[in-house]
A and B are shown apart, each in its own frame.
Chain A
């Protein structure tokens, strides 16, 4: 019996080896498109900083999440357009009350050491991410997912074993929610929900993500890690879909200076790098096939301080609205930034999934009409040439923010005769001042945590910890609470955006775009994916 098993194993290894040889040949052309592939399938890209962690339960930044998505695979992945596609889970069922999700897992998923990936790995990972013992900065994500008892577990009032996730058997994962969440399935594409290998975590503690220890279940494994310099990941032979992976090696280089990175890109050292501010027009003319602008899931805005005791002038909604109307977004977007951003009249980013831009009156006006209305509103509020308004605007130190602030203060001056005192603060100082309400008008930027309008609009909730304006409108609160369980929340979101336009707690200025250079021979990039969740296994390089 034993001998037979051994024999079988040897045969299997032999077959595997053979198939990988055949595979290498067959990939001289792309299996679907038939394009000739380059012999060197190494993808090298730039990031601006080292990530705090590559542990799925702890990872907190975009750069880290990109690595984690290659190394690990969660229940679902996103396809090129951002739609769900099977990952470790093949499908799921939802109970009638929308509170219990049952995921059906594939049985051929393996860890890089050959162990099978089971529902228990997910259960362990989620409970670990929420546990006070791990103290993950992303523990709140588990709470955001509305998992049963999440808040109590994080607060340490309940044992992690009480969390609403259970492995029924190796291929069935049951998740219980505390309230229905229409976009729950979307949320399991996020790194925090990825499985971790319990034996490895327990053996190596916080060192388990180092290349010599790590065991992962994604399309790649980490083979080299020099902090602040590089991470190298190579294809994972154990990955269930390894046959369809084309990129052999992925190299992430930390290059803090964008201009240095651009020079190195032009010297051929990189396949992807960020375009420094202000250079998009030149580069897109010079390298039209390489310079790309993609929507980025963030909104840029100015917020008013609406706390009690804050400067009185800006407590008048007419003043706030006048200031908002007088900002010529087209000038900001086309002349100041000129890199594919879009003017914003709503807080929610235009490209957010399932969100249709509501009819905010300001959006359909000409700038001349807006200016006229702004002047009227400001006069109504009692300000004019005999009683000029002065506002204090603060932003965090950055050349880009400075350019926008100067342009806007000029618009206010020319249209309304408003004087603006500009000041900038170092990031941490700025954050503290803003959350303490130590400002009059402050710069804000918000990026989506998931692809749904509530990731933006929840900021307008009076109780939100991110609501630095302290905007408080009970009707908005009620609408947002209702949207959480509504079958179609769009109507609620429309009304919230209308309230924002009316009350003007914030001035939406523009919706971000991200600008990158991509090697001319790099294919498969998911430009349509709004969250820019890319997976190296989807990429390939064609022969030049």
Chain B
């Protein structure tokens, strides 16, 4: 197991490096630059700014300095757009926000999704099954960018129960709508995957054997069916978690939470090179990390898998 982790981590480093170099090259080949605007800066002003941010250096030197800074000082550089903030500042401030409601969305999506899926599988072809499938299909067609405006309309404008956005240090009223909007479609996917994989497991020989032995249903479900049924769900959860945390761009923008999503999108429009790089690396590293965690959980759940 340890050697497996070590092997995976050694592969992760070059993967990240390739990501860094590719993003760096793509970014600089995009037209425009962080200091382009409708009113071009006078050359002498632009020269001062470019010197300050090291943009007057040759390309290879910039990338070398950047990678050196990231590896040895964990320094992702200054933001080009936000004049007195570094990328580290931006991530340190925005990421905990995104992480907070991303985490709660994950908890909600998994709890509700798995419960719905299991309930539907156990009562296949009953009203409960139809209801659960109905809910999950309904939720599937409500991605976050559709959910968010609906929630805003209902809870803020019509009912006046919840604030329409902001963060306020993470008070619960401010969390409700982002969490619902973000978790709905993930919840639906989890419910569907759980249902179908549970159904499959329930029809296998070892479950039939357990039933024949006269084991109580509760024990069969929890002890024997749950683990194998969760495997497909688990492989979905890794990317889903990363997706929730980082793909919450729409939620960040819609509910103006101050999370990193807003910075991510704006940095791309404004060519804020260092912020694009910083967040890309963060997302890349998270993806690699969670895939690794999922692989390890696999081994724990399924004794057939050996590393």
Contacts and interface: CB of A to CB of B under 8 A. Distances in A.
Interface residues of B, number: 51
A31 interface: no
B31 A429 contact: yes
A227 B253 contact: no
A259 B41 CA distance: 33
A229 B81 contact: no
Interface stretch (B99-107, B155-163, B182-190, B213-221): B155-163
A266 B164 CA distance: 11
A206 B262 contact: no
Contacts of B258: 226-230, 254
Q: Is the interface of B mostly helix, strand, loop or mixed?
A: loop
B48 A156 contact: yes
Contacts of B269: 426-428
Nearest to A154: B44
B166 interface: yes
B90 interface: yes
A257 interface: yes
B40 interface: yes
B165 A255 contact: yes
Interface of A: 49-50, 52-53, 55, 58, 132, 135-137, 139-140, 143, 151, 154-156, 206-207, 209-210, 226-230, 253-257, 259-260, 263-264, 266-269, 426-429, 431-433, 435, 445-446, 465-466
Given A53-B83, A229-B256, A435-B40, A266 B157 contact: yes
B124 interface: no
Given A135-B48, A206-B83, A428-B271, A465 B90 contact: no
A55 B84 contact: yes
Given A227-B82, A253-B166, 15 more contacts: A58-B84, A132-B48, A139-B48, A156-B48, A206-B83, A228-B252, A230-B258, A255-B256, A260-B164, A260-B254, A260-B256, A269-B156, A428-B36, A431-B37, A433-B31
Contacts of B166: 229-230, 253
A227 B269 CA distance: 17
26 contacts: A50-B266, A52-B83, A53-B84, A58-B83, A135-B45, A135-B49, A137-B41, A137-B45, A154-B45, A154-B48, A206-B84, A209-B84, A227-B82, A227-B93, A228-B258, A228-B263, A230-B258, A255-B165, A256-B262, A260-B149, A260-B256, A266-B157, A267-B157, A428-B32, A429-B31, A431-B37
Contacts of A260: 149, 152, 164-165, 254-256
B91 to A, nearest CB: 11
B299 interface: no
Nearest to A53: B83
B140 to A, nearest CB: 24
Given A140-B45, A228-B263, A260-B165, A52 B157 contact: no
B30 interface: yes
A55 B84 CA distance: 9
Contacts of B252: 228
A445 B39 CA distance: 10
Contacts of B81: 52
Given A58-B83, A228-B256, A269 B163 contact: yes
A263 B165 CA distance: 11
B305 to A, nearest CB: 43
Given A256-B256, A428-B36, A429-B32, A155 B156 contact: no
Contact of A135 (B36, B39, B52, B164): B52
Interface in B237-283: 252-259, 262-263, 266, 269, 271
B35 A137 contact: yes
Contacts of B51: 132, 135
B24 interface: no
